[in-house]
């Protein structure tokens, strides 16, 4: 496709059948403050390479769908922050047609990865069914994308600001298998457990890769969700973080913050209240997911 631009490293890897993993860009522009966002993005790429996979950070820059970014482009996204539009499925064509810039969400990154033939994607946490969605119908496009796009997403579960039980119900309806890496419980981003179960526990990247491969060979459409608990030493106290999240959600409601602005607001609020420890956990779990995704890509 003429509108896709590949970095030389990614182009060479795809041409020669080397393992490639996709990485998102909203984590750079909207998920973390500068300069930690750029440092984290560069470290994610380094960790991917150290584990035998080529990193393909995805974004829209100057109207071009970019699969693989330079250090200068990562720096631009990090410094620009929320000035860069968040781009999900509905936004990609419009931003590209206008020659604009977009930081890709989980759903947006899955689309670009699929276009490029990349089978594995590492992120922090997926979006899901928001609390109170029975009234607001606020459900992330990430779940719809997982139901239709053939990319395996490695994450630390759904963000704990969400209704995790309803998120799992929605994924079941969409036919998305939820695989726990070394766990039978759904992680809750900041903590290792949410109290909800996963569909399958698998204990090696090779076992996960075999399931993904069989799904693709059988022609079963849709993604696979691989949930990877945050490392034990970075897991936060569940009762404490739940209380912080409840307070942040109430504050967002009182301020009338909704839609695509809600997640960045809640993450920033949680970071401030926890004195930055939530950001440290966030970074640690992203690195952990990149490591696992690279190993799965190698096994594929």
Q: Show which residues are catalytic.
A: 24, 159
Q: Where are the alpha helices (DSSP H) in 140-218?
A: 141-146, 164-173, 205-217
Cα–Cα distance for residue pair 15/221, rounded to 1 Å: 24
Cα–Cα distance for residue pair 196/143, rounded to 1 Å: 17
Exposed/middle/buried for residue 185 (C-beta within 10 Å: 0-12, 13-18, 19+): middle
Cα–Cα distance for residue pair 13/16, rounded to 1 Å: 5
Cα–Cα distance for residue pair 100/264, rounded to 1 Å: 21
Cα–Cα distance for residue pair 210/239, rounded to 1 Å: 37
CA 104, 95, 76, 271 torsion-angle sign? negative
Of 110, 122, 128, the closest CA to residue 205 belongs to 122
- In DSSP terms, 224 is beta-bridged to 152
Exposed/middle/buried for residue 23 (C-beta within 10 Å: 0-12, 13-18, 19+): buried
């Amino acid at each position: 496709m003429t509108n896709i631009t590949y970095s030389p490293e990614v182009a060479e890897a795809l041409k020669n059948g080397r393992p490639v993993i996709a990485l998102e860009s909203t984590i750079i522009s909207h998920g973390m403050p500068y300069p930690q966002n750029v440092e984290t993005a560069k470290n994610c790429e380094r960790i991917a390479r150290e584990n035998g996979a080529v990193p393909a950070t995805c974004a829209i820059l100057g109207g071009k769908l970019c699969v693989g970014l330079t250090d200068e482009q990562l720096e631009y996204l990090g410094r620009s922050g929320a000035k860069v539009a968040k781009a999900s499925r509905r936004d990609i064509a419009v931003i590209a047609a206008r020659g604009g810039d977009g930081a890709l969400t989980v759903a947006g990154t899955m689309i670009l990865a699929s276009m490029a033939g990349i089978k594995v994607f590492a992120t922090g946490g997926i979006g899901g069914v928001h609390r109170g969605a029975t009234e607001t119908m606020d459900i992330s496009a990430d779940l719809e994308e997982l139901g239709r796009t053939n990319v395996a997403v490695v994450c630390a579960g759904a963000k704990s600001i969400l209704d995790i039980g309803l998120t799992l119900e929605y994924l079941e309806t969409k036919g998305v298998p939820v695989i726990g890496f070394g766990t039978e419980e759904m992680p809750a981003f900041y903590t290792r457990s949410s109290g909800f179960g996963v569909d399958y526990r698998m204990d090696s990247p090779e076992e996960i890769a075999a399931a993904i491969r069989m799904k693709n060979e059988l022609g079963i459409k849709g993604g696979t969700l691989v949930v990877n608990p945050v490392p034990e030493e970075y897991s936060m106290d569940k009762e404490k973080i739940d209380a912080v999240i409840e307070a942040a959600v109430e504050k967002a409601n009182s301020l009338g913050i909704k839609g695509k602005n809600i997640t960045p607001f809640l993450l920033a609020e949680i970071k401030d209240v926890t004195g930055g420890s939530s950001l440290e956990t966030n970074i640690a779990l992203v690195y952990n997911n990149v490591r696992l995704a690279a190993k799965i890509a190698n096994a594929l």
